[in-house]
């Protein structure tokens, strides 16, 4: 039985990935700080070996890579690597020992788009610390795979969504009150003309991508794959379709961003700026052709499932 070690396996994607792995016959080890339960319960978690490690503290002591090595992974999936130094510590520890290493990246490695849908072949122009660090990790892992034989695959999700947490909303931030306003027919402020794009993906479709990459290891190694829904949505279209889902007609006001941000606190305005400045719109043709990736959810279907959960749990008010 192959041994799969997942770093950060009880988060968004792990909620769906771990049961898939257990049901496929893998022995699964989940490494986390032990402070979070999966968003959706599943009997498969009873078969999972749980290992509590504080990654930040272990890395500061230069001990995290060794701790992962000691778990003897055949397949290693890293969900929580955000710096190049962190990636190097893991790779140096398991090099020559692990059969397949899968890293969770982000479509923000691209920065602003030139042509859309953006393919994985486009030159990287990241901005912001998160995108810059993830692009550096990608470059390092692909170099190690293609030059030195390290068995790395990179999965680049979009805006991950699913039941249990707030999706990126039509204003480009995460305040669930936006959905309450749409449900009540209240006016929503949209930055600019609302033609910037966001590209969601359901957490289970990200889990699907990992499973397909593992199953097709020989073609997945040394490659990076966009992991998103079949199509991005514009902020305006997103707001209009969600209002219709609530049985309403969207009441939208369009404001230049400099004026729009005056209505919000600094953190909210920065979140929206980051999302509209990236405006991701990514192709999944490569993943379809090489891995057979077939997302189950459109962007709106994924969001609507999440918002339905928020309504059931009283976080979005519809009346």
CB 90 within 8 Å of CB 63: no
Task: Return the axis-axis angle of helices 129-148 and 84-94, rounded to nearest 10°.
Answer: 30
In this structure, are strands 233-234 and 197-198 parallel, antiparallel, or unpaired? Answer: antiparallel
Give the model's pLDDT for residue 39.
83
Give the model's pLDDT for residue 183.
98
**pTM, rounded to two decimals:** 0.97
Give the model's pLDDT for residue 37.
80
Inform me whether the pLDDT recorded for 253 exceeds 70. yes
CA–CA dist 100, 93 (Å, integer): 14
Q: Quick one: what percent of the chain has pLDDT higher than 90?
A: 96
* Residues 182-195, mean pLDDT to the nearest whole number: 98
CB 227 within 8 Å of CB 153: no
Q: Rounded mean pLDDT of the chain?
A: 97
Q: How far is CA 11 from the centre of its chain?
A: 10
* Residues 214-219, mean pLDDT to the nearest whole number: 98
* Residues 143-159, mean pLDDT to the nearest whole number: 98
* Residues 192-203, mean pLDDT to the nearest whole number: 98
For domain 3-160+200-227, the CATH class is alpha beta
Q: How confident is the model at residue 120 (pLDDT cuts 50, 70, 90)?
A: very high
Give the model's pLDDT for residue 35.
66
CB 167 within 8 Å of CB 267: no
Domain ranges, ordered by start, for the chain: 3-160+200-227, 165-198+232-279+299-312
CA–CA dist 29, 40 (Å, integer): 18
Give the model's pLDDT for residue 159.
98
CA–CA dist 250, 241 (Å, integer): 8
Give the model's pLDDT for residue 38.
84
Inform me whether the pLDDT recorded for 319 exceeds 90. no
What phi, psi does 204 have (nearest 5°)? -70, -30
Beta-bridged to residue 50, according to DSSP, are: 30
For domain 165-198+232-279+299-312, the CATH class is alpha beta
Give the model's pLDDT for residue 19.
97
Give the model's pLDDT for residue 53.
96
CA–CA dist 19, 41 (Å, integer): 10
Give the model's pLDDT for residue 34.
74
């Amino acid at each position: 039985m192959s041994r799969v070690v997942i770093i950060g396996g009880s988060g968004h994607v792990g909620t769906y990935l771990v049961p898939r792995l257990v049901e496929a016959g893998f022995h699964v080890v989940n490494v986390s700080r032990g402070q979070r339960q999966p968003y959706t319960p599943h009997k498969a978690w009873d078969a999972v070996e749980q290992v509590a490690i504080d990654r930040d503290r272990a890395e500061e002591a230069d001990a995290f890579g060794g701790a992962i090595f000691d778990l003897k992974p055949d397949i290693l999936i890293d969900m929580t690597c955000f710096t190049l130094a962190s990636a190097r510590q893991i790779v140096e520890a398991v090099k020559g020992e692990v059969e397949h290493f899968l890293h969770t990246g982000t479509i923000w490695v691209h920065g602003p788009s030139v042509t859309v849908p953006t393919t994985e072949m486009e030159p990287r122009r990241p901005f912001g610390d998160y995108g810059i660090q993830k692009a550096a990790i990608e470059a390092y892992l692909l170099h190690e795979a293609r030059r030195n034989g390290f068995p790395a695959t990179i999965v680049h999700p979009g805006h991950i969504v699913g039941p249990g947490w707030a999706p990126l909303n039509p204003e480009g931030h995460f305040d669930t009150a936006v959905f309450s306003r749409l449900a009540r027919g209240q006016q929503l402020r949209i930055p600019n003309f609302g033609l910037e794009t966001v590209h969601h993906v359901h957490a289970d479709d990200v889990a699907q991508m990992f499973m397909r990459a593992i199953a097709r290891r020989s073609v997945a190694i040394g490659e990076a794959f966009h992991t998103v829904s079949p199509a991005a949505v514009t902020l305006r279209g997103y707001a209009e379709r969600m209002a219709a889902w609530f049985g309403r007609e969207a009441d939208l006001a369009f404001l230049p961003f400099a004026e729009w941000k005056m209505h919000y606190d600094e953190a909210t305005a920065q979140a929206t700026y980051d999302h509209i400045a990236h405006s991701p719109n990514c192709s999944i043709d490569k993943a379809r052709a090489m891995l057979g990736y077939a997302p189950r959810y459109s962007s709106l279907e994924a969001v609507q499932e999440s918002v339905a959960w928020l309504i059931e749990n009283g976080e979005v008010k519809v009346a």
